[in-house]
Structure 1
Amino acid sequence: MENNAKTTWNIDTAHSEINFKVKHMMISTVSGHFENFEGKAETDNPDFKNADFSFSAKVDSVNTNNKDRDNHLKSDEFFGSDKHPKLTFKSKSFDGNKVTGDLTIKDVTKEITLDAEYNGTAVDPYGQTKAGFEFEGNINRKDFGLTWNAVTEAGSVVVSDKVKLIASLQFIKQ
């Protein structure tokens, strides 16, 4: 009888980052990240093929190094963190190069696909087995109800619709 037991790997938040980048006035890029997040991978495979990934971030932990901008992002014009405190991702497939799954922001769920890079596993000095991943891709923020915008005097939009997501994640084998 073959062993189909899944191994659970939890995100090591001390060695992981969830970042985003968005063009501001179409001439510069603003970067931000979520400080409070959690997630896991479940797999029965040493190369993580067909692993199940799940993730959530607390919206009010958004940080762009500008308090006024962060408060605007938390407001109803963007994330509406009072009514929608978390954003979540649940994978449907992972082939080693791409992960596809459902991203939910503001109670709107859309399927997205991100480029994925599995960086391998290693044992740290404390004997814990860790696995590293990079996930990257673009979403349209308006697909998720993040529709606020303004136009400059020159006619360019203040915030691009396209948002780049970059997740550098380290998982700890449980």
Structure 2
Amino acid sequence: MSTTKWVIDPSHSEIGFKVKHMMFTNVSGSFQKFDAYIETNGDNFENAKMEFTAEVDSITTGSADRDAHLLSADFFDAAEFPQLTFSATSFTKEDEGEYTLKGDLTLHGVTKPVKLDVEFGGLAKDPWGNTKTGFSITGKINRKDWGLNWNSALEAGGVLVGEEVKLAIELQFIKQ
């Protein structure tokens, strides 16, 4: 079977995350500049090759001061590590429409394996005749595993920023 290439449709994709703030609320953020592609055997996504990159300086959380702090050496150190990357090592079908995506996430100069849950949205042609596919991807990582250690103790106990980061990613691809 022939190799099929899929490129991201950035206007219908988003890379989001949430992290606890002050132990009781979530702060949401996203990356605005990113790229991804998939290579499959035909239209079968099992064992697909997937690569993803995001520009760290495109992070946004709705607060310019917080975004500037996230870009500093306290967190992402965007000047030293301008991109985060993900390279799939396996894409396994678990059930109808459900996959497990494993790969290597490189962030802040550290590469670690991650496991993500994927909901396959299916295949469809858009009104212009393009074949598209979509995925909802969720997972959790511990930011400290990538050296993002900054925190501040709270007077009442606990810390300002949670360690667990919840990922919420929506990706739409166009068949080439």
Counterpart of 1:16? 13
Q: Distance in 2 between matches of 1:107 and 1:173?
A: 32
Q: Distance in 1 between matches of 2:175 and 2:153?
A: 48
Counterpart of 1:170? 172
- Relative to the length of structure 2, the TM-score reads 0.95
- Relative to the length of structure 1, the TM-score reads 0.96
Q: Distance in 1 between matches of 2:26 and 2:37?
A: 30
Q: Counterparts of 1:93-104 in structure 2 under 5 Å? A: 93-96=90-93, 97-104=99-106
* Percent identity between the two aligned chains: 51
Structure 1: gaps (5+ residues)? none
Q: Counterparts of 1:72-91 in structure 2 under 5 Å? A: 72-91=69-88
**Contact 1:91/1:102 (CA < 8 Å) preserved in 2?**
yes
Count of residue pairs the alignment pairs up: 171
**Contact 1:74/1:80 (CA < 8 Å) preserved in 2?**
yes
**Contact 2:4/2:43 (CA < 8 Å) preserved in 1?**
no
Offset at 1:107? Answer: 1.1
Secondary structure of 2:145's match? helix
Q: Distance in 1 between matches of 2:111 and 2:19?
A: 20
Offset at 1:6? Answer: 1.2
Q: Distance in 1 between matches of 2:119 and 2:91?
A: 11
For residue 113 of structure 1, the aligned residue among 112, 115, 122 is: 115
Offset at 1:45? Answer: 4.0
Secondary structure of 1:18's match? strand
**Contact 1:118/1:134 (CA < 8 Å) preserved in 2?**
yes
AA aligned opposite 1:100: K
Once the two structures are superposed, residues 78-113 of structure 1 have per-residue CA deviations (whole angstroms, 9 ceiling, x without a partner) of 000001000000000001321000000011000000
Structure 1 residue 66 corresponds to structure 2 residue 38:
no
Once the two structures are superposed, residues 24-57 of structure 1 have per-residue CA deviations (whole angstroms, 9 ceiling, x without a partner) of 0111000000000000011004231111111000
- Runs in 1 of length 4+ with deviation above 6 angstroms? none
AA aligned opposite 1:118: F
The root-mean-square deviation of aligned C-alpha atoms, in Å, is: 0.8
Structure 2: gaps (5+ residues)? 94-98
Offset at 1:134? Answer: 0.8
Structure 1 residue 144 corresponds to structure 2 residue 150:
no
Q: Distance in 1 between matches of 2:50 and 2:120?
A: 13
